[in-house]
A and B are shown apart, each in its own frame.
Chain A
Amino acid sequence: MIEAYFIHLLILVGIYAILAISLQLAVGFSGLLNLGHIAFYCIGAYTSALLALQGLPFWFCFLAAGFMAMVFGFLLSLPTNKLKGDYLALATLGFSFVVTAVALNWTGLTRGPLGLPGIPKPSFFGFSFANNFWFLILVLIIATASYLIIKRIIQSPFGKALEATRDDELATRVLGKNTLKLKSYSLAISAFFAGIAGSLYASYITFIDPSSFSLMQLIPVLCIVIIGGLASLKGTIIATVVLTLLPEPLRFIGFPSSVVGPMRQIIYSLLLLLILIYRPRGFFGKIELE
């Protein structure tokens, strides 16, 4: 029983880790304060779920989720590319409201608030991941691969060009670099990983509805990115593990689920506040933004 519960938690850690490191790519490494990240997660989840319900194989639904989110990431970057800091945050926030509104109201496709039940569990060329232990293995493999790919990106000269754009966009342009293109790529790549995280989530829970992708779901991910430290992948992973598991012991001291939920948010907000006051770079953050 406790083992099954622990496996469940670790699966969530894996999915959150993908979501958090991809947000870190946009926020920490590219300086794009993207509050629409949860919308890409939503787009990925719905894409994957709808295709899986049509009987398409998991690997296809999974990749389609990533690509669909990536296309939306790229499209969102076109009008918002020239916005800076707070304005970009507002515009991307608006985007996430639009996406949830579409999920709620395009009932012909998404069944609106009723959600999509009965999403098949993944299977891969006949091997089923319906068992949670095997699902955990799948999530860990994908999370590790995502981590390695994002790490490779940020350590390459391309990643340095993203960081240069973050630190001083004008100086980067004067060196001859097309920073609009750099920012579009960053947002699209970041969205791709949020999309595949959404696919994993949909096929794990087997039911999605628009409330799974509200702004409230973004807050913990954003907390992880900031508390772990901007532009630190290691910090992001550690923060994901700690912050996801942290509120759990409350259950064992006898708190009911109805209390643990809000407590989680209170803990996150308190931690965020303390970090911003005492350690503005986060635990492993390397950078200071002007």
Chain B
Amino acid sequence: MLTCLQLVKSFGGVKAVQSCSFEVKSNLITALIGPNGAGKSTVFNLISGIVKADAGKIIFQASKQVSSKQVGGEGINITNKSPEAISNLGMSRLFQKSRLFNNLTVKDNLLLAIDNEDTKFLKNLLGKNKITKEKEGSIKQILKLVEMESFENHIARDLSFGQKRLVELARAILNPHTFLMLDEPVAGVNPKLREVIANILLELKAKQETILLIEHDMHFTFSVADWVVVMQEGKVLVEGKPDEIKNNPKVLEAYLGE
């Protein structure tokens, strides 16, 4: 679904990503792990077009929805595309830092994710972009999923840190996509909800979604991931099935400890 080839990115003297290559397979949950500052979030930013690569290539296999069956489309080089263009190819993401629209309600935050009809001025002026029952329904449903139903009309700014994360996760899921990238979705979320989120991810996978996940909580990561890519100092150290990674001496030394 997604192929990163020899990505390079430096910030001034800091080599955040150095010749990083890996592949994300369709309909699987791939975890990207590694120590703080390994370059994981930078890789996310490169993929979603927020940060431009110094070198390397990112190929995205945008899959089209054809009568409920996923059909693989052409591989598209998204290396120099804008964030909105990449998003509209079917990519959605959650940021590591909270990026809610703080002065809007939870409901408005979610409505914004559903489609881009809201950028059409005349259609909106003429009142032809209605908030349909269907949209309301999907918002209620997703809020129920993350146990935030009673906060629909709260202003995002007033939510607690964990609640913000949950709404952001909901927003990322609601944004139309076939490929979902989550940067530390359970950081700051209580243990019970971590399990809820793990189940949500497994359900999304069951619905043929592809997920790329960054997470420091190893219990969570190994309980959902099908494939694990370990990064260190901007490079891929090793990759493999969760069981192999758990016992890999290089990974134990570099990251997992013990």
Chain A residues engaging chain B, CB cutoff 8 angstroms: 149, 152-153, 156-161, 163-164, 166-168, 170-179, 181-182, 185, 189, 231, 286-288, 290
Q: Are A231 and B87 in contact (CB under 8 A)?
A: no
Task: Give CA–CA (A156, B33) in the complex, Å.
Answer: 42
Q: Nearest Cβ distance between residue B248 and chain A, in whole angstroms?
A: 33
B residues near A, CB below 8 A? 48, 50, 82-84, 87-88, 92-93, 95, 99-104, 108-109, 111-113, 116-121, 124-125, 127, 129, 131, 157, 171, 175-176
Docked CA distance A231–B87 (Å): 29
Nearest-CB distance from B1 to chain A (Å)?
Answer: 18
30 contacts between A and B (CB under 8 A): A156-B118, A156-B124, A156-B125, A157-B124, A157-B131, A158-B120, A158-B125, A160-B112, A160-B118, A161-B118, A161-B119, A164-B112, A166-B103, A168-B101, A171-B95, A174-B92, A174-B93, A175-B87, A176-B88, A176-B116, A177-B84, A177-B118, A178-B84, A179-B84, A185-B121, A189-B121, A231-B103, A286-B103, A287-B103, A290-B102
CB contact under 8 A between A174 and B129, given known A161-B112, A286-B103: no
Kindly list 12 other residue pairs between chains A and B, CB separation below 8 angstroms, not including A157-B111, A172-B101: A149-B125, A156-B127, A158-B125, A158-B129, A161-B112, A161-B119, A173-B82, A176-B176, A177-B112, A178-B119, A288-B102, A288-B103
Q: Which B residues are in CB contact (< 8 Å) with A160?
A: 104, 108, 111-112, 118
Residues on A with C-beta less than 8 A from B50 are: 170, 174
B103 in contact with A163 (CB, 8 Å): yes
Query: Are B84 and A176 touching (Cβ within 8 A)?
Result: yes
Closest residue on chain B to residue A286 by CB atoms: B103
- Docked-complex contact B83 and A158, CB < 8 angstroms: no
Q: Closest approach, in angstroms, between the C-beta of A165 and any C-beta of chain B? A: 9
Given the complex, which residues of B lie within 8 Å of A182, measured CB to CB?
Answer: 119
The reply to whether B101 and A158 form a contact with Cβ atoms under 8 Å apart is no
Residues of chain B lying within 8 A (CB to CB) of residue A286: 103
Measured between beta carbons, the chain A residues less than 8 angstroms from B92 are 174
Closest-by-CB residue of B relative to A165 is B101
